[in-house]
Structure 1
């Protein structure tokens, strides 16, 4: 693992997105080492130097490779804003950090939900990067697109869901002959419309910092969208 390069580059990438106090707080709580100082004439930012010192200290501490990787990834991901998590994780992997091994438990938690294949396709990578906001957003967008295609509709978002899954809509979940069947149809309509109103619309218009989504919320949101994808799979297009 190219620890010196990682220490220099991570510090440079994060110097505008955090504070010295935050760097030291995260370093103490996650890296669990006694920080030392390391001279580097190419670093001119105090915050970049602090990140460099923490990572270099971790690099010289006697730990197993797996434990060092685990602490390094958690440190970097905790400091990184959502829009940088993806590029930083790719950088760590490219420079010898076994990111997938570190995130083994994270991945198991994701797969334990038995998500619809579309959720896995659109959200797994973002979830592993701890980019929970965009993991949910991409799955909500994918569901909207799939409904739009199957309903052959020009509508979008909440209007699309309320139209396509209505009792008079083109996506039929059942025959609609009994009160129970009609309630099921209405239920999926309102859940789908609610998803668009509660998730897709806010995430499309709000910065991630203004509406943070934690891991548990992300898993729960994805479970809801997965359920709706399965309902969409069962639906029949009928424009009678």
Structure 2
């Protein structure tokens, strides 16, 4: 960050330090020591509890430099995705909590560990609404991880319209991965799941009931693409509003489709 960023007021700074240096899930003592050194800050009270130690170091550097750049650098290093390779849910949980506070200074920490500017929160409700939510609720529903790969940035922006669009694209992409086909939409589904000579079978097709299930799954995919993917691809966002509850249901359906495709047998 070459541009000087304004100082962070003490109450907000205190809340940030309590998240970053949280007793149970924040930086350890040795990690905090390294983070302070890497950010070119002074460890002014190393004997204090972690969050107070960090807070005092932050106050010192802001008083000395007249900006919050060193503090933001420390946050970026502490929340770099590489530190959470085996703790993805913890990363999202801690980042969501931190983003609620950062929204009061018009910042959001993105999935890639970099900041972006957002509209400043004026109330606690504003902050919670921006930071929480669809992603947390989808994790509670145990939604297929491949969906989240396609739409995480949209989820973090609470952009339900594009999150749904990306989720539907992820289902088509999964079919192509499993089959080697390159087409799309109805022709992709028919080529992959035709009962007569399917590339993927969701059962052994040994009787009419099982063949009907294969046909039904194929029709479900076609209907899913027709209703959600095609609509979001062609309709302007302002003309096709998606509420959170609808986004949750659509993406839960996409999750079921993913799992059935994962478990389908290659013919």
Q: Distance in 2 between matches of 1:224 and 1:157?
A: 17
Q: Distance in 2 between matches of 1:194 and 1:185?
A: 14
Q: Aligned-pair RMSD on alpha carbons? A: 3.7
Contact 2:134–2:244 under 8 Å retained in 1: no
Deviates more, 1:173-182 or 1:189-198: 173-182
> Among 200, 205, 220, which residue is 1:171 paired with?
200
The answer to whether 1:208 aligns with 2:237 is yes
Superposition deviation, residue 163 in structure 1: 2.7
* DSSP-derived class of the 2:158 partner: coil
Q: Which residue of 2 aligns with 1:196?
A: 225
Q: Which residue of 1 aligns with 2:33?
A: none
Superposition deviation, residue 3 in structure 1: 9.8
Moved over 2 A (4+): 1-4, 68-73, 92-95, 99-108
Contact 2:144–2:258 under 8 Å retained in 1: yes
Q: What does 1:46-195 align with in structure 2 at a 5 Å threshold?
A: 69=101, 90-92=116-118, 103-168=131-196, 169-195=198-224
Q: What TM-score, normalized to structure 1? A: 0.57
Q: Distance in 1 between matches of 2:7 and 2:227?
A: 42
Q: Which residue of 1 aligns with 2:74?
A: none
Residues 37-75 of structure 1, C-alpha deviations (whole Å, 9 max, x = no match): xxxxxxxxxxxxxxxxxxxxxxxxxxxxx9x859969xx
Runs of 5+ unmatched residues, structure 1:
5-65, 74-88
Distance verdict in 2 for CA 1:165–1:150, change over 3 Å = same
Contact 1:158–1:194 under 8 Å retained in 2: no
Q: What TM-score, normalized to structure 2? A: 0.52
Report how many aligned residue pairs link the two structures: 161
Superposition deviation, residue 123 in structure 1: 2.3
The answer to whether 1:225 aligns with 2:251 is no
Superposition deviation, residue 149 in structure 1: 2.7
Superposition deviation, residue 233 in structure 1: 0.3
Q: Which structure is higher in helix share?
A: 1
Q: Distance in 1 between matches of 2:117 and 2:227?
A: 33
